[in-house]
Amino acid sequence: MSYRLLSVDKEELDISPPGLKERNYLGLSDCSSVDSSTIHNRVQDGEKSNLNFKATELRLGLPESQSPERETDFGLLSPRTPDEKLLFPLLPSKDIAASATIGHKNVVSGNKRGFADTWDEFSSVKGSVRPGGGINMMLSPKIKDVPKSIQEERSHAKGGSNNAPAAKAQVVGWPPIRSYRKNTMASSTSKNTDEVDGKPGLGALFVKVSMDGAPYLRKVDLRTYTCYQQLSSALEKMFSCFTLGQCGLHGAQGRERMSETKLKDLLHGSEFVLTYEDKDGDWMLVGDVPWEIFTETCQKLKIMKGSDSIGLAPGAVEKSKNKDRV
Amino acid sequence: MALRLPSKVLKHILSFIDSNEDRNSVSLVCKSWFETERKTRKRVFVGNCYAVTPAAVARRFPEMRSLTLKGKPHFADYNLVPDGWGGYACPWIEAMAAKSPSLEEIRLKRMVVTDECLERIAASFKDFKVLVLTSCEGFSTDGIAAIASTCRNLRVLELRECIVEDLGGDWLSYFPETSTSLVSLDFSCLDSEVKISDLERLVSRSPNLKSLKLNPAVTLDGLVSILRRAPQLTELGTGSFAAELKPEAFTKLSKAFSNCKQLQSLSGLWDVLPEYLPALYSVCPGLTSLNLSYATVRMPDLVELLRRCSKLQKLWVMDLIEDKGLEAVASYCKELRELRVFPSEPDLDATNIPVTEQGLVYVSKGCRKLESVLYFCVQFTNAALITIARKRPNLKCFRLCVIEPFAPDYKTNEPLDKGFKAIAEGCKDLRRLSVSGLLSDKAFKYIGKHAKKVRMLSIAFAGDSDLMLHHLLSGCQSLKKLEIRDCPFGDTALLENAAKLETMRSLWMSSCFVSFGACKLLSQKMPRLNVEVIDEHPPKTRPESSPVERIYIYRTVAGPRMDTPEFVWTLHKNPEIGVSKLAIK
């Protein structure tokens, strides 16, 4: 198994070139122990392409190294030392710089391993399971979070926790706090930041976002956006992987290259529409009411296939099929 | 010649045995003991509503007076179980209404309860006394009104963190007009306002009321008026604890509290205005339980309150207490048995969580009786864990949530293996464990080997490989519930340890690498397990080798579920998918 340590400039995070680029999201530039000669830019080969449709793709590889004692069984991952972790990437630690100062050469912090690691495994483990589109869809979304959040970290000044980045992604169910508590605290924290005169504050307003065909839900805080455009682009970023994964399924096992434009076509075209469930339980198309009213009435968001949304006109009251409680 | 204990004598002996675990053991001795036990069991506990049919339970325990049921898996609390998965109370209520009409108490956790269900309860059980719904959903205040109005002997009505369709506060007026037998009322999870006059009248005509938990819509004024009418309360959940600062308001509040001489437990305290906290000082010395976990109050104010609570046994608080505050707790609250520290900013991005591992170390050192811990913080060290284990070998429940996934020991950059090894080895009575932070397979080897009494284990973002799961399933003698998310292991360990799954209540795995093929194989080979694949992609369209999103496996004598939604696959539902192509080892 060979791994490559890949790095890139921070500025490139915002660029969306048609080609494929490796990115370094773990602040390797801060890590003096990493030998720069091991860092090279390499164009991805075809089999990784279905992950690299976006410039913000995270790939992380490590130089050749393998723990001697254990063997890979059916498990999809090979064993590794704790510092070379095959892990699901999540929102990165803000102390990336701090964590990068490890004595190990060529090893980035044990904290945040790129999803790319995992992907490397999938593509290079011989004869083992090929997860195909499925695992991409399952794991890719988390990787999308990484670049976005790092992007925000680096572009926003780190204030207190009241900073509201443009698109705050969430991993479902982590940290493990009951939603009852989350919701209660979201509203009470906001109340406490105002004077006690009964004025309702603007706390976080999380709504679940589901997408037809996506393996799980995400959540977004509607209060971090001020208009539909922002919401739309955030959702686009969050769910783009699912879309492409889907194309991959129908295509040649997810190996086709997808360009930026094709992605945008998918989301903006007739393929998908954004709908929401309002306080009465009706599903409506997003975009017809003023933003403020929308935030007050929206309970859930759903990205539906265009074909499923026939019958949902602005203001229409068709109750679409949904997985609500009994 | 075998001596047989006359059943009358056995019955008498059994009347002293309350623990269901002991009764379960008794029922295994021989057939006559089984018969005597089953005919005398009054309190029935079913940890998984799909493990047994309601009819079977009703048949086995004809004298049942109290039924406790749990539905959804624990991770449903964190939104990992899609809506509509199941856990419906209705079939149980129907069965009990028909076969156990003398049922008096129903306690449900994580179940879907409808208004019809509640109406059925009200109509079917003549002497109904206790209804406790924890983390349930699916009903409205109309259902509550039905219970209130029809159950004339109702003693306990508690809605704990339920999701209720709140149609208004009228339900409160449905209690009987003459005196009620209410001992405990908890409506803290309801949103809408109740009429204070209704509440006042209810409290006045409920002479036995000992526990009252209000919802946030009740104001401080309302609270004062209630306390005046119910100074005998032992448990109180306040409403909102903020109001315009007025000296008279404070004095009234203070006086009202000082009249509550029996108050032992205090909770609620939403929107606390720190200036009102001193009103509580008079009750602090008698408090054994204090839930400040919704009170966004700074450390100095918290310490002023807590230093007066010398009898405190249970403390739930937010991380605003800081390490310094926990140090104070360690020196003032020497009777502390349970500590929970919740994050005030429950976001992954939060970095300024004001507690560190040091806070927990202080409490572990200072509070000798500490046995239950739930602690959220950003990062931890092995040294701290080792100290905690050494100081508190009497820990029974240790749930550490290092919010940053994969966070190593931040001083040494090692995984937290050594620390959790110390916990597993040192705390010999540990029954519940949640691990977090950077962990390798080694950590699970230690846990498998040493955590002999752990019954419930929760794991997230941990381990290196299949070995982790193998260590756990082949060790952990007492393991009953295992829940895992986002760990990198696949099928081998699961299949090799399939037999273990029949000794456990349930196994939950989500975002791991268990393949659909393995799920099928497990279903085929283990008929006494229900293997549920919860996946929004229909497994039919996926290759066998593809990983499933979530898998929930539980032992059952009830056979396959009949109420699965479309996103839950079971072998029973789709037998046409066929035999697994996996090699049988």
Nearest to B465 among A70, A172, A208 (CB): A70
CA distance A177 to A179: 6
Residue A235 has pLDDT above 50, yes or no: yes
pLDDT the model gives residue A219: 72
Helix axes B90-99, B115-124, angle to 10 degrees: 10
Residue A54 has pLDDT above 70, yes or no: no
Write down the ipTM of this complex. 0.86
Helix residue ranges per DSSP H, B100-219: 115-124, 141-150, 196-204
CA distance A294 to chain B (A): 21
pLDDT band at B525 (very low <50, low <70, confident <90, very high): very high
Question: Average model confidence (pLDDT) for chain B?
Answer: 93
The answer to whether B286 touches B311, Cβ cutoff 8 Å, is: yes
What percent of chain B stands above pLDDT 70? 96
Size of interface A-B (CB pairs under 8 A): 221
- Which residue does chain B place closest to A139, by CA atoms? B511
Nearest to A110 among B406, B493, B535 (CB): B406
For B230, residues 6+ apart whose C-beta sits below 8 A from its C-beta are: B203, B206, B209, B212
Contact A75 B345 (CB under 8 A): no
pLDDT the model gives residue A79: 37
Region B516-530: mean pLDDT is: 92
pLDDT the model gives residue A287: 82
- Which residue does chain A place closest to B442, by CA atoms? A82
The answer to whether B480 touches B505, Cβ cutoff 8 Å, is: yes
Region B267-273: mean pLDDT is: 91
pLDDT band at A241 (very low <50, low <70, confident <90, very high): low
Only one residue has tokens 């924890």, namely B134
- Which residue does chain A place closest to B84, by CA atoms? A325
Region A298-326: mean pLDDT is: 58
pLDDT band at A66 (very low <50, low <70, confident <90, very high): very low
Give B19-73 pLDDT, tens digit per residue: 999 999 999 999 999 999 999 999 999 999 999 999 999 999 999 999 999 999 9
What percent of chain B stands above pLDDT 90? 83
Residue A221 has pLDDT above 50, yes or no: yes
Of A160 and B12, the one with more pLDDT: B12
pLDDT band at A208 (very low <50, low <70, confident <90, very high): confident
Chain B residue numbers touching A192 (CB-CB < 8 A): 271, 296
pLDDT band at B396 (very low <50, low <70, confident <90, very high): very high
pLDDT band at B537 (very low <50, low <70, confident <90, very high): confident
Neighbours of B327 (CB within 10 A): 19
Region B271-278: mean pLDDT is: 90
pLDDT the model gives residue A281: 80
Residue B97 has pLDDT above 50, yes or no: yes
Give B124-161 pLDDT, tens digit per residue: 999 999 999 999 999 999 999 999 999 999 999 999 99
pLDDT the model gives residue A303: 84
Contact A134 B78 (CB under 8 A): no
Helix axes B441-450, B466-474, angle to 10 degrees: 0
CA distance A268 to B460: 36
Does residue A125 sit at the B interface (CB-CB below 8 Å)?
no
Give B153-195 pLDDT, tens digit per residue: 999 999 999 999 999 889 999 999 988 999 999 999 998 899 9
Region A183-209: mean pLDDT is: 55
Give A142-152 pLDDT, tens digit per residue: 333 333 333 33
Region A162-183: mean pLDDT is: 68
Side-chain-side CA neighbours of A243 within 13 Å: the count stands at: 29
Contact A79 B465 (CB under 8 A): yes
Does residue A123 sit at the B interface (CB-CB below 8 Å)?
no
Chain A residue numbers touching B490 (CB-CB < 8 A): 73-77, 129
What percent of chain A stands above pLDDT 90? 1
CA distance B40 to B10: 10
Chain A residue numbers touching B415 (CB-CB < 8 A): 82, 110
Chain B residue numbers touching A170 (CB-CB < 8 A): 347-348
Of A208 and B227, the one with more pLDDT: B227
Residue A28 has pLDDT above 80, yes or no: no
Helix residue ranges per DSSP H, B230-319: 247-258, 299-306
Neighbours of A90 (CB within 10 A): 23
Contact B77 A179 (CB under 8 A): yes
Chain A residue numbers touching B347 (CB-CB < 8 A): 161, 168, 170
* Residue A221 backbone dihedrals phi, psi, to 5 degrees: -95, 105
The two three-digit tokens of residue A325, written as one number = 């409680």
- Which residue does chain A place closest to B88, by CA atoms? A326
Region B430-441: mean pLDDT is: 95
* Residue B339 backbone dihedrals phi, psi, to 5 degrees: -130, 130
Length of chain A (residues): 326
Does residue A269 sit at the B interface (CB-CB below 8 Å)?
no
Q: Which among A290-294, B325-329, B516-520 has the top mean pLDDT?
A: B325-329
Radius of gyration, CA atoms only, chain A: 21
Contact A111 B438 (CB under 8 A): yes
pLDDT band at A77 (very low <50, low <70, confident <90, very high): very low
pLDDT the model gives residue A268: 53
